[in-house]
Chain A
Amino acid sequence: MVEAVLITDADFDIASEYETLKQAGVGAVVIFSGVVRDNADNPRLVAMTLEHYPGMTEMEISAIIEEAKRRWPVSGVRVIHRVGRLLPEENIVFVGSASAHRQAAFESAAFIMDYLKTKAPFWKKEETEEGANWVDARETDEDALKRWE
């Protein structure tokens, strides 16, 4: 079982993450990466700063991975989440899931991402030219969990 949870201020390399997941020795690898929305989407966004609760964050993500392993036959999961100040178009989050079956890889990656968004203790602060604001939690993220009940 290839498994890792990494909270870091450094960028990650998607190609090498993919190679690591392939070493789980299976037929399917699904990768999700989240990116800071670029200027076309939010023209006033200068940067995004991410804060987290060290210790609890890793515990929550590990618990989500454990639940995913109970539900799907996954043989590899890697989750990376960046913290600190990020600029538009920088990588924020990586979730990779490997399995012998594509459906298990697709579904487990989506499950982990949905739960990460609503349970893992991270907070985003947006910097715009007018000032900085903490991002509000979205009900649509909470609603996304219903499909896994």
Chain B
Amino acid sequence: MRILYFAWMREHTGCSSEEIQLPEEVETIAELAEYLRGRSAGHEAALRNMKTVRVAVNRRYAQLDSTVSAGDEIAFFPPVTGG
């Protein structure tokens, strides 16, 4: 599974993308975020408050209770500020 981070979340985690093995017990975005928080202090800081985080599964907006599967591309990012 490929995980992407953007903007200040990328700076906190120290990586723009990483490959992980999806643990069997992880079924939703919320559970995935919880799991990823354990990877480093930076991940913990980036994913601490999921209310301020937007999520995409395979490049489409998703919700915290959206389900994830092994081949997905999951992106975590702050609210967008383009234009």
Contact = CB atoms under 8 A, between A and B. Distances in A.
A113 to B, nearest CB: 6
A120 B61 CA distance: 10
A140 to B, nearest CB: 12
Interface residues of B, number: 17
A24 interface: no
B82 A123 contact: yes
A121 interface: yes
A124 B6 contact: no
B78 A134 contact: yes
A136 B7 CA distance: 11
A122 B81 CA distance: 6
A113 B82 CA distance: 10
Interface residues of A, number: 28
B80 A137 contact: yes
Interface string B39-69: 0000000000000001010011100000000
B6 A137 contact: no
A117 interface: yes
Interface of A: 34, 50-53, 55-56, 59, 81, 92-93, 113, 116-125, 134-138, 141
29 contacts: A34-B83, A50-B82, A53-B59, A53-B75, A53-B77, A56-B60, A59-B59, A59-B60, A81-B82, A92-B83, A93-B82, A116-B83, A120-B80, A121-B6, A121-B77, A122-B81, A122-B82, A123-B7, A123-B80, A123-B81, A124-B81, A124-B82, A125-B7, A134-B78, A135-B81, A136-B81, A137-B78, A137-B80, A141-B83
